[in-house]
């Protein structure tokens, strides 16, 4: 048995925090439920940006999006000589791990490099075409090995729009193609084959398995759709107002007309539906979650058969959530509300102390906490410049942070919106308009504050209510000082004694 645990990193794309059996009695996720029984569920975990690229870059480099400059889905770190830190796969490769990555990373660096780096992955498989912008050096691409399967998938989803996120993508359909002709099915096959034939018994294993769903489109295999009945699906509650006003989301809509029109196009479709028809979208989203849970089960079973779980730390997370029709039929993410920023997070396996199995940890966890946690498990020294904390440690921050810079597609970046969250309260600060001219408008800073205890849907903004002024000012102070401390440490810190000044007891 290796002293270093095998690290099994399981990830989905756009899975809500409440879409595991632990928090939703309707959801069929037996594999994740089993992980929760033999591990810790962090039920207050949040992402650092409510969209794929900045969230994933933040998680894999260990810094906040505003620190590394990747703030929207159109960002990315292109120069390998100027990375802010070693990404997680490279950290673990350097620690002696065999590193194998299957599925989505979304570094967003492929279009700027002739041979895009795999950033530490020795074995790599990506369920997309070589010209998709997601190729990495040495990767096996689905478009090369099974072009007919990828073509069948694209044919089935051809009317789903960009990112498969138009109304058709969210309505979805019962898939008519075999599961392994889906991109995630192909990725699962590649991963299972590697476990069967490619493990290096002389080294500990870092296995990264990251699926593209439950992100839309919702073309779901029939056997998983049949796990659910429309009659059992609850309706999505809607607020008592028809238009978003005086919120960071309304401010973002005002900057980006195309983003707002994409929202309105779906809203018109959903308003014309019956309540039962609307439930079909929720059903298919949940079915996607169950489908991926099935693949996780196959992979963990295969790892167990190979003896790879005898000394292991298993991680399950998603990169952000999904609004799924809340707030007057909002879909996707791109906001700082609970369903978008909270993520499922489970740490499981034999590395977890047995007396903590089956427990819930309510600390304000963040995705940036994963690198410090996994680096320590791998025997690496802590990087004191990173904002993350060891999820097994005693040290805890007072709240959790997320940032939003707008959708960033065809418009300038929005002025930043910053969230500070505790279990009971959420504060959001924002300035209207684009970031380019925002310096002249800081006196017009606006805010939202919600009691998550009394108003979990975040419909009642208490920011300007005098009765809650003390809570508001305390939250603002905590947010300010949290960011001041984080930005003071990294990603660049130069001192005569290196980073010793940032370490406990350093002089």
Rounded Cα gap, residues 52 and 390, in angstroms: 23
Mean pLDDT of 400-415: 87
Mean pLDDT of 53-77: 95
pLDDT the model gives residue 501: 83
In angstroms and rounded to an integer, the radius of gyration of the C-alpha atoms of the chain is 22
Residue 113, pLDDT above cutoff 50: yes
Rounded Cα gap, residues 428 and 100, in angstroms: 38
Residue 28, pLDDT above cutoff 50: yes
68: which DSSP letter?
H
Which pTM was predicted? 0.96
Q: What is the dihedral of CA 386, 389, 392, 396, to 10 degrees?
A: 170
Q: To which residue do tokens 């490279």 refer?
A: 90
Tokens of 417: 């919106």
Mean pLDDT of 373-379: 98
Query: Where do the domains of the chain lie?
Result: 40-502
- Relative to beta strand 417-421, strand 425-430 is antiparallel
Q: To which residue do tokens 């380019």 refer?
A: 436
Task: Count Cβ atoms below 10 Å from residue 20 Cβ, excluding itself.
Answer: 25
Tokens of 489: 């440490």
Q: What is the dihedral of CA 11, 12, 13, 16, to 10 degrees?
A: -110
pLDDT the model gives residue 505: 65
Mean pLDDT of 328-351: 98
Mean pLDDT of 258-283: 95
Mean pLDDT of 315-330: 98
Averaged pLDDT score across all residues of the chain: 95
Residue 153, pLDDT above cutoff 70: yes
Residue percentage of the chain with pLDDT more than 90: 91
Residue 268, pLDDT above cutoff 90: yes
Query: pLDDT band at 413, cuts 50/70/90?
Result: confident
List the Cα angle 48/49/52 in 5-degree steps: 120
CB 445 within 8 A of CB 431: yes
pLDDT the model gives residue 407: 86
Rounded Cα gap, residues 396 and 106, in angstroms: 29
Residue 121, pLDDT above cutoff 50: yes
pLDDT the model gives residue 506: 53
Instruction: Tell me the sheet residues that pair with 361.
Output: 42
The long-range contacts involving 293-298, CB below 8 angstroms and separated by at least 24 positions, are 293/28, 293/29, 293/30, 293/31, 293/32, 294/31, 294/224, 295/184, 295/185, 295/188, 295/209, 295/211, 296/10, 296/31, 296/32, 296/209, 297/30, 297/31, 298/188, 298/192
CB burial of residue 257 (10 Å; 0-12, 13-18, 19+)? exposed
SS3 content of the chain, % helix, strand, coil (to 5): 40, 15, 45
Mean pLDDT of 454-460: 98
Mean pLDDT of 407-422: 88
CB 31 within 8 A of CB 296: yes
Residue pLDDT, tens place only, 459-471: 999 999 999 999 9
Tokens of 64: 């906040």
Of the candidates 241, 221, 239, 232, the residue with the CA atom closest to the CA atom of residue 276: 232
Rounded Cα gap, residues 286 and 229, in angstroms: 11
The class that CATH gives domain 40-502 is alpha beta
Distance in angstroms between the alpha carbons of the first and the last residue of the chain:
39
Query: pLDDT band at 507, cuts 50/70/90?
Result: very low
Residue 427, pLDDT above cutoff 70: yes
What is the side-by-side strand order in the sheet with 400-404?
400-404, 417-421, 425-430, 446-451
pLDDT the model gives residue 111: 72
Rounded Cα gap, residues 107 and 351, in angstroms: 29
For residues 499 and 278, the model is more confident at 278
């Amino acid at each position: 048995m290796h002293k270093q645990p095998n690290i099994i990193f399981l990830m989905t794309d756009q899975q809500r925090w409440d879409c595991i059996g632990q928090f939703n009695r309707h959801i069929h996720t037996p594999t994740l439920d089993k992980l929760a029984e033999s591990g810790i569920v962090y039920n207050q975990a949040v992402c650092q940006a409510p969209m794929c690229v900045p969230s994933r870059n933040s998680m894999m480099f260990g810094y906040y999006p505003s620190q590394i400059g990747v703030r929207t889905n159109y960002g990315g770190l292109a120069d390998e000589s100027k990375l802010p830190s070693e990404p997680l796969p490279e950290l673990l490769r350097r620690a002696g791990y065999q590193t194998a990555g299957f599925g989505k990373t979304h570094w967003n660096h492929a279009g700027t490099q002739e041979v895009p780096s795999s950033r530490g992955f020795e074995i790599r498989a990506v369920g997309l075409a070589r010209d998709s912008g997601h190729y990495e050096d040495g990767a096996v691409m689905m478009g090369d090995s099974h072009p007919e399967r990828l073509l069948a998938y694209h044919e089935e989803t051809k009317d789903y729009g960009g990112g498969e996120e138009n109304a058709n993508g969210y309505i979805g359909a019962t898939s008519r193609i075999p599961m392994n002709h889906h991109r995630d099915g192909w990725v699962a096959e590649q991963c299972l084959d590697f476990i069967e034939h490619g493990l290096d018994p002389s080294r500990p294993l870092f296995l990264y398995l990251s699926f593209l769903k439950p992100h839309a489109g919702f073309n779901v295999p029939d056997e998983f759709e049949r796990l659910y009945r429309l009659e059992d699906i609850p309706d999505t509650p809607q607020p008592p107002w028809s238009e978003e006003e005086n919120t960071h989301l309304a401010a973002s809509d005002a900057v980006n007309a195309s983003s707002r029109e994409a929202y309105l196009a779906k809203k018109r479709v959903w308003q014309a539906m019956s309540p039962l028809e609307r439930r079909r979208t929720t059903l298919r989203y949940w079915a996607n979650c169950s489908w991926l849970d099935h693949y996780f089960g196959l992979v963990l079973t295969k790892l167990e058969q190979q003896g790879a779980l005898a000394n292991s730390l298993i991680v399950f997370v998603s990169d952000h959530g999904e609004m799924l029709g809340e707030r007057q039929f909002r879909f996707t993410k791109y906001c700082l509300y609970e369903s978008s920023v909270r993520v499922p997070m489970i740490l499981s396996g034999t590395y977890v102390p047995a007396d903590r199995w089956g427990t819930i940890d309510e600390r304000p966890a963040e995705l940036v906490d994963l690198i410090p946690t996994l680096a320590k498990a791998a025997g690496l020294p802590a990087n004191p410049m990173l904002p993350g904390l060891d999820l097994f440690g005693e040290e805890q921050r007072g709240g959790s942070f997320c940032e939003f810079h707008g959708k960033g597609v065809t418009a300038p970046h929005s002025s930043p919106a910053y969230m500070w969250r505790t279990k009971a309260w959420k504060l959001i600060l924002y300035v209207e308009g684009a970031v380019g001219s925002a310096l002249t408008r800081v006196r017009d800073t606006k805010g939202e504050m919600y009691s998550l205890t009394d108003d979990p849907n975040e419909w009642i903004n208490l920011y300007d209510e005098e009765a809650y002024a003390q809570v508001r000012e305390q939250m603002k102070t905590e947010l300010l000082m949290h960011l001041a401390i984080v930005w003071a440490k990294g990603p660049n810190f130069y001192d005569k004694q290196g980073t010793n000044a940032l370490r406990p007891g350093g002089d």
